[in-house]
Structure 1
Amino acid sequence: MGGGGGFIGSRLLRVLHRAGATVRTLLGPPGSAVTALPGAALVAPPAGIEAWQGEVDDPAVLAPLVAGAALVLHLAGPRSVAASFGAAAAYARIHVAGTAALVQVCAGAGVARLIHVSSAEVYGQPARNPVREDAPLAPRSPYAAAKAGAEAFVLAGSVAGGFEAVIARPFSVYGPGMAPDTLLGALVRRARSGDPVAVFDPRPVRDYCHVDDVVAALVACCTAALPEPTRVYNLAGGVGLSVAALAGRVLAAAGRPGAPGLVPQADRPREADILALVGDPGRAARELGWRTTTSLDAGLSAMLRSES
């Protein structure tokens, strides 16, 4: 498993370990600090899991990770859309070249199934919402473009390498321990501390999916019988919420009802904005038996209780 030290990966690692799976993981790049604290850059895995650090685009690092594995889960790589505008080449190297290297290693090792965690950002601004998996890809950021490129390598590699491929496209994933530089992470931190709460733009609508629900979907992807060798699934709740409404829910959950303020600077080019991105979860419900189970209010309350 790649990306086992990240926000989603560290939780998935623990769920698989508790289920009795034999797991090896690449935590992240060499030299990154590893800690037991949730929300850290890299979270240490449970005792008994073989883990190491290395570059995800290095086949010499990936080969021993994948050797003998029946199943590979790929969650590695930076996740910030905003940061990608200033680091396009780095995002391409890690997400595209890293995925290409992993696909090559999986084909050579005889892996039966590769599960690649992509992003709903690959849709860009859909012509209609909720968006289905067969909608055209129209990325608007270097991050989304890199994820779309990675998907292409997974799909092509599945055909050439003879392994099954699942592409999971999570929508806006949230939960305790999420990075403080994310929209929701910052809102929760400021609401909890009593600081003023403000947003760049109150209009964008997103589909918020709790990290525990995403992990449950990825576990289902490990064992589900696929109707065809390659399959794409939205991991979404199917309900959109504006940034203004989200901030209001955070403030209400923190006992500070009211509306957020506005800050003048944006964290990305205005031309790259996506005003509405909501996922159709129907395929995942039908084929994986999966639906979201954590309500947004319950998820926000848990975050407010756990964040420091």
Structure 2
Amino acid sequence: MTWAGKNVLITGASGFIGRYLVDALLEKGANVTGLTMSSPDPSDRNIRWVTGDITDRGSIKDVCEDIDVVYHLAAISNVPKSIQNPLLTFNTNTFGTVNLLEEARLSGNVKFVYISSAHVYGPPKYLPVDESHPLNPREPYAASKIASENIVQAYGNAYGLDYAIIRPFNVFGPGQDESFLIPGVIAQALRNKEIKVGNTEPTRDFLFVKDCVGGFLAIAEKGSGIFNIGSGNEIRISNVVEKIRDLIDSSIPIKSDESRIRGGKVEIPRMCANIEKLNGLGWYPEIGFDEGLTQCINKNREIF
């Protein structure tokens, strides 16, 4: 696929990953439309904004008309928030996806790229986790993503909708909200000169946001079906926190905070992605973890 002149719709275009995806597509010459619930800024990044709410079918009528590719990122993605408000989570993440799929189906020849989550796997039975791993939701967020994945596949089977489902592992980069681990630890270190953490024993697979977006583009261009996207490397949370501390100031104390510990049934002890399927499309991560952390820290130094 050549992106120049392609019409791309992005839900969640103003979110963390969405902003990077918009910039990457604009650089490639695509015509980008962002769906937003709030009043858009008409001067924002050469993007065409349309106002609508995916939970209200009438407000997004014809939003996919003349669109070549849909990237559906909009979601309730905060796990604690999903636990506190499961109805909002399912209404937004699952029923909102159905509404958008209907618009894509009725518009004709659209490729639908659904952004799911590695949370769908739950505690892994083996590592690295490949796309065939059993799904085991531990909270409403993961369950809503599994339901949406199934509906996307049903639309592909029933209506011939061209689709891809992407399961990102832990994406990070400059501009991410402090409710996520890496920006939260960086902010604490720079602002408070101490770091409070919950359970540091779990492992995660961290991928820099620009590499993630590169994978999103490759999948839309050449991929169909389900794809993991991650670095393929496993790192313990304690090591992440120590790396951040040492890059900022090795004298900063790291303290345990029980209020930050997730319940045992929700916590996933280890995660690491098998990315061989995505490698088969010619995509490989380019930005190492330490380099990515340095970029995040340098950006936050400008703020604090």
CA distance in 2, matches of 1:201, 1:176: 24
CA distance in 2, matches of 1:251, 1:53: 41
Paired position in structure 1 for 2:257: 263
Q: What secondary structure, in the 3-state scheme, does the structure 2 residue paired with 1:134 have?
A: coil
Paired residue for 2:101, among 94, 100, 103?
103
Segment drifting more, 135-144 vs 103-112: 103-112
**TM-score of the aligned structures, taking structure 2 as reference length:** 0.91
**Deviation for aligned residue 1:258:** 6.8
CA distance in 2, matches of 1:243, 1:167: 27
**Deviation for aligned residue 1:195:** 2.2
Alignment of 1:109-124 (within 5 A): 109-124=107-122
- CA deviations on 1:90-134 (whole Å, 9 max, x unpaired) are 110000001111111111111331101110000001101110001
Alignment of 1:209-248 (within 5 A): 209-224=207-222, 226=223, 230-248=224-242
CA distance in 1, matches of 2:190, 2:228: 31
- CA deviations on 1:59-113 (whole Å, 9 max, x unpaired) are 2333332101121111111211122110111110000001111111111111331
Paired residue for 1:15, among 18, 24, 42?
24
CA distance in 1, matches of 2:199, 2:137: 20
Which blocks of at least 5 consecutive residues in structure 1 are unaligned?
37-43
> Aligned Cα RMSD in Å?
1.8
Label 1:257 to 1:290 Cα distance change in 2 as closer, same or farther (>3 A): farther
Paired position in structure 1 for 2:245: 251
Segment drifting more, 79-88 vs 250-259: 250-259
Segment drifting more, 262-271 vs 139-148: 262-271
Task: Determine if contact 1:191/1:197 at 8 Å carries over to the other structure.
Answer: yes
AA partner of residue 251 (structure 1): R
Paired position in structure 2 for 1:298: 291
CA distance in 1, matches of 2:32, 2:94: 24
AA partner of residue 297 (structure 2): L
Alignment of 1:15-54 (within 5 A): 15-27=24-36, 29-30=37-38, 45-47=44-46, 49-54=47-52
Paired position in structure 1 for 2:67: 69
AA partner of residue 98 (structure 1): G
Alignment of 1:142-161 (within 5 A): 142-161=140-159
Paired position in structure 2 for 1:41: none
Task: Determine if contact 1:248/1:259 at 8 Å carries over to the other structure.
Answer: no
State whether structure 2 residue 198 is matched by structure 1 residue 200. yes
AA partner of residue 137 (structure 1): L
Task: Determine if contact 1:158/1:164 at 8 Å carries over to the other structure.
Answer: yes
Task: Determine if contact 2:194/2:253 at 8 Å carries over to the other structure.
Answer: no
Paired position in structure 1 for 2:274: 280
Task: Determine if contact 1:244/1:259 at 8 Å carries over to the other structure.
Answer: no
Q: What secondary structure, in the 3-state scheme, does the structure 2 residue paired with 1:277 have?
A: coil
**Deviation for aligned residue 1:199:** 1.0
CA distance in 2, matches of 1:128, 1:154: 26
**Deviation for aligned residue 1:14:** 1.4
Give the paired residue count: 292
State whether structure 2 residue 133 is matched by structure 1 residue 140. no
**Deviation for aligned residue 1:165:** 0.9
Greater than 6 Å deviation, 4+ residue runs: none
**TM-score of the aligned structures, taking structure 1 as reference length:** 0.90
CA distance in 1, matches of 2:111, 2:52: 22
- CA deviations on 1:247-270 (whole Å, 9 max, x unpaired) are 011111113267732101245422
CA distance in 2, matches of 1:193, 1:57: 38
Paired position in structure 2 for 1:94: 92
CA distance in 2, matches of 1:18, 1:62: 27
AA partner of residue 280 (structure 1): N
CA distance in 2, matches of 1:184, 1:30: 28
